[in-house]
Structure 1
């Protein structure tokens, strides 16, 4: 829904630019290309962010359900690592061989 609203705003801006400005066709084309690239970049960023958030959520759910994860070639589970929600990372527990090792949840499978 949000994309449709922005699409409508862009269409109105282009209509205004076409009918109420004295820009040349080349200037209008350049402005259109720049705005199109900005919008495409924003959409790509949002899609990437959504996929990353889904991946991190899946990793956190696996960890919370007691499954073993692999992060940087190391097996991560609740007996050897703690999960920090704020930094979305796994931190090695004291008394384990991985004490103070930190893995970002994005690195895990």
Structure 2
């Protein structure tokens, strides 16, 4: 739904340029292309962010279920690492060989 809103904005900008400016066709086309590319880049960024968020959520869920994850070649589970929700990372527990080691959840499989 949000993408339709941005498509409407591009159409509105193009209509305003077409009827209320003295720009030639090439200038209007370039402006429309730049605006379209900026919006397309923003949409692509949002899609990538959604994928990353879903991946981290799946990793967090596996960790909470007690499953062992592999992160940077290290086995991560609740006995060796704690999970920091704010930074979305695993921190090595005291008394383990990974004490104070920090691993970003995005680097897990």
CA distance in 2, matches of 1:32, 1:20: 15
Shift of 1:16: 1.1
Structure 1 window deviating more from structure 2 (9-18 vs 86-95): it is 9-18
CA distance in 2, matches of 1:66, 1:29: 56
TM-score by length of 1: 0.98
The residue that corresponds to 1:38 in the other structure is 38
Count of residue pairs the alignment pairs up: 109
Shift of 1:9: 1.7
The residue that corresponds to 1:61 in the other structure is 61
List, as ranges, runs of 4+ consecutive aligned residues in structure 1 with deviation greater than 2 Å. none
Contact persistence 2:10–2:36 (CA under 8 A): no
Contact persistence 2:10–2:32 (CA under 8 A): no
CA distance in 2, matches of 1:40, 1:10: 11
The residue that corresponds to 1:77 in the other structure is 77
The residue that corresponds to 2:51 in the other structure is 51
The residue that corresponds to 1:104 in the other structure is 104
Contact persistence 2:90–2:102 (CA under 8 A): yes
Shift of 1:20: 1.1
TM-score by length of 2: 0.98
